[in-house]
Amino acid sequence: MRIFLGFLWGVLLALAIWGLAVGLLLATPHELAVLLGFAGFMLLASRLVWGYGELGAFAGALQAGQNPDREAAEAGAGVHDAQELAAEVLAGLWLAALEPFRYAFIAAYVLLFLITLATKLAYPVLSVWGWFTGTSLIEGVFWGASIAALIVWALSAAAAAQVASLRRGPSRVSAG
């Protein structure tokens, strides 16, 4: 059974690699630019994605009344020997510790947006055709980065909402 499952896994992996290779071969340069922007900005966002993901799991466990992973929270918030800190406070510190990375990500994204917008100014502002049919490769990088930005925004907003609900949630008394 294990050998069969391993074989199946290998076949799936080979198929995935084959599909990726064919997709890359058939992609237009503009689609490759989208891929490049997505990969690059996901690399920039990796700390945020992991951080907000872990923070969300921490806050979720706290809300459900389960025992959350305090060690991960202390490492994320950058505090040591903080057993006396309430878990809700720890979550808030963790959220605040991720803010500089979020700011850096947004700064890079806005810069890319401005550069893309500047290439669009080559067309008359009222030329719908020029604005909506992208011809520049940097626009593809921008669209790929937008996917990463949406992921970062969704994770950060969800984590912030979870941390905010901890303050007024009913679990505050039990978990304190």
Partner 1 sequence: MKKQYRTGSVQSVVLWTLVLALLLGFAVGSYSAASRARAAVAAAENLATGIPPSPVVTSARYDKAGGALVLKVLNPGLVPLRLIDQSLVFKPGAGSEQEAYALAALPLGVEVPPLAELEVRLKLKSDSEDLVVGDVLAASVSYTHPYSNDVYMLTHLFRVTEESARGKEVPEPAQPQMNQPKKEGESKEGGK
Residues that bind partner 1 (CB under 8 A): 28-31, 34, 132-135, 139-140, 143-144, 146-147, 150, 153-154, 157-158, 160-162, 164-165
Complex with partner 1: residue 31 or 54, whichever CB lies closer = 31
In whole angstroms, the minimum distance from the beta carbon of 52 to partner 1 comes to 11
Cα-Cα-Cα-Cα torsion 86, 92, 97, 100, nearest 10 degrees, comes to: -170
CA 23 to each of CA 29, 33, 38, 41: distance values in angstroms, whole numbers, following the listed order? 12, 13, 16, 21
Complex with partner 1: residue 34 or 44, whichever CB lies closer = 34
107 CB neighbour count, 10 Å cutoff? 10
In whole angstroms, the minimum distance from the beta carbon of 83 to partner 1 comes to 27
Residue 153, token pair as written in the block? 């925004």
Complex with partner 1: residue 35 or 75, whichever CB lies closer = 35
In whole angstroms, the minimum distance from the beta carbon of 71 to partner 1 comes to 25
CA angle 170, 163, 39 (to 5 degrees): 145
In whole angstroms, the minimum distance from the beta carbon of 64 to partner 1 comes to 13
Complex with partner 1: residue 32 or 75, whichever CB lies closer = 32
Tell me the three state secondary structure of residue 95: helix
